Structure 1
Amino acid sequence: MSSIAPSARIHAHAVIEDGAVIGENVTIGPFCHVGPKVVLGEGVELISNAVVSGRTDIGRGCRIFPGAVIGGIPQAIDYHGEETTLSVGDNCTIREGVTMNCGTVHGGGKTVVGNDNLFLANSHVAHDCQLGSNIILSNNVMLAGHVTIEDRAILGGGSAVHQFTRVGRQAFVGGLAAVNYDVIPYGMLNGNPGVLGGLNVVGMTRAGLDRATIHRVRKAFKAIFAEDGTARSNAAAIRDDFADCKEVMEILDFIAVDSDRPLSSPYRGKA
């Protein structure tokens, strides 16, 4: 039996399969389909013609627009029907045609999306992706499997992110960019192949960073991507000089992590 809160409003033409859990003040419009292992948190709204399937949890206050398919099975050749999950946090807006897939066993079994994210029309979150909060995926953004997107990153329309790639906190990816390699926090990447053109100064300013801090991050950026040495060795060499600047340390820590992908740079796109 489904668990449906008394305050939920469900259109007569919606399909709620046995086993679904529908929270307080949920609204489900006409021609929506909610699968038997779905949990919809308080105040979720499915406007119409939306599908939520799989073992999927949708957090409080999310809005899901027509044509979205959330919790579908992974688009992966090594998926053979195992039970995996998708978790979407609170207050996410999921616009028309958005698709999000559950994880795969080989990728940890779960796709995770944080809070307060905006997914514009036809964007795609593939299996085993790990997304933070306050992220914007513009129209037609494509995330391959196992991608990590950190808090407050913005991806422009039509950009595509290679599998296992990381996009750092508050990075900006331009429209139609090909993100083949990791993008540092606060980085700005454009083009195909994507080239790290500098820092997301506009985003940093909007986040409240003062001019002195932005200047220090710029200075560190130039030192990291100097023509002599590798980005990783240069980053390690300047660590003591910027120990008092948490934004620079965030970049240095990101670079120091072992990754499946190389690092984006200003030089031919790859460090």
Structure 2
Amino acid sequence: MIHPTAIVDSGARLADDVEVGPFTVIGPDVEIGAGSVIGPHVVVKGPTILGERTRIFQFASVGEDCQDKKYQGEPTRLVMGDDNVVREGVTLHRGTVQDRGETIIGSRNLFMAYVHVGHDCTIGDDCILANQVTLAGHVHIGDHAIIGGLSAVHQFCFFGSHAMAGGGSIITKDTPSYVMINGNPAQVHGLNVIGLKRRGFSAEAIRALSDSYKLVYRQGLTVEQALVEIRARFSLAETDHFVASIEASTRGIIR
């Protein structure tokens, strides 16, 4: 299962059925779960934990030291869940002690070619980052998020669950859950209705989220006024999550 040209450190812990391709290097303090396939010419550096059924394609660099100039070699980690797909040339960096010391990635995510995930990022489950998406340090991405190719996210930004960014977006503020954004600088272009329907959201929830979106973006209210009105009108988990995603903003939301 391990190609004879691969270099796997004796301090690495691989499940018995992990496949490792030619010329791949796996360092110490790396743990790889069952059913995983690590392709050729991949570098995995620890401390890194990769969950079960991880698929990594050629020339990816996973768990490398971050590019933050404050980083001085402290023992930080990259932790990934199960069923993630990491395509060609992707770079996933570990955390820094200036934050939690961890970069955390959930399960069932797709990182298309040449994606970069910077230090201390947190990514949820079931996300798609298209080709050449770049996340600066300390970025938080919710579940079921989609970020189009060639987009860049500024450090410390929040990108909410079920939100979608069109290709080439330059994202310098926080993105509430459920919305669609695009542009440079990115602007909001509506509710992600098609995505919500595909994921089985009820008609009632979609109507409530649409009305909530209009209160924030179309009625000329301040954000605070809009959130008060949403709470008064709706008592659904989806609208509560929409409100919470806005209240979590530290950089101001995209308008």
Same fold (TM over 0.5): yes
Shift of 1:247: 1.2
Deviations 1:117-160 (A, max 9, x none): 00000001100000000000000000000000000000000010
Does residue 48 of structure 1 match 2:43? Answer: no
Instruction: Please list every run of 5 or more consecutive structure 2 residues that lacks an aligned counterpart in the other structure.
Output: none
Q: Which amino acid aligns with 1:20?
A: A
Shift of 1:227: 4.8
Does residue 207 of structure 1 match 2:199? Answer: yes
1:71, 1:161 → 2: CA distance?
A: 20
Does residue 254 of structure 1 match 2:234? Answer: no
Shift of 1:44: 1.1
1:110-121 alignment runs, 5 A limit: 110-121=102-113
1:20, 1:54 → 2: CA distance?
A: 9
Q: Is the 8 A contact 1:232 1:256 kept in 2?
A: no
Q: Which amino acid aligns with 2:207?
A: H
Shift of 1:24: 2.3
**SS in structure 2 at match of 1:238:** helix
1:142 aligned residue: 134
Q: Which amino acid aligns with 2:241?
A: E
1:5 aligned residue: none
User: What's the TM-score once normalised by structure 1's chain length?
Assistant: 0.92
- Which of these residues, 58, 67, 85, is aligned with residue 75 of structure 1? 67
Shift of 1:210: 3.0
Does residue 65 of structure 1 match 2:62? Answer: no
1:212, 1:102 → 2: CA distance?
A: 41
Shift of 1:229: 3.2
Q: Which amino acid aligns with 1:260?
A: T
1:117-132 alignment runs, 5 A limit: 117-132=109-124
1:17, 1:52 → 2: CA distance?
A: 11
- Which of these residues, 219, 238, 263, is aligned with residue 211 of structure 2? 219
2:214, 2:73 → 1: CA distance?
A: 48
1:173-252 alignment runs, 5 A limit: 173-243=165-235, 245-252=236-243
Shift of 1:240: 2.3
Number of aligned residue pairs: give it.
255
RMSD of Structure 2 on Structure 1 (CA): 1.1
Shift of 1:18: 2.3
1:6 aligned residue: none
Instruction: Please list every run of 5 or more consecutive structure 1 residues that lacks an aligned counterpart in the other structure.
Output: 1-8, 266-271
2:8 aligned residue: 16
1:146-157 alignment runs, 5 A limit: 146-157=138-149
Q: Is the 8 A contact 1:165 1:180 kept in 2?
A: yes
2:167, 2:220 → 1: CA distance?
A: 31
Q: Is the 8 A contact 2:215 2:221 kept in 1?
A: no
Deviations 1:55-81 (A, max 9, x none): 000100000000000000011011011
Q: Which amino acid aligns with 2:252?
A: P
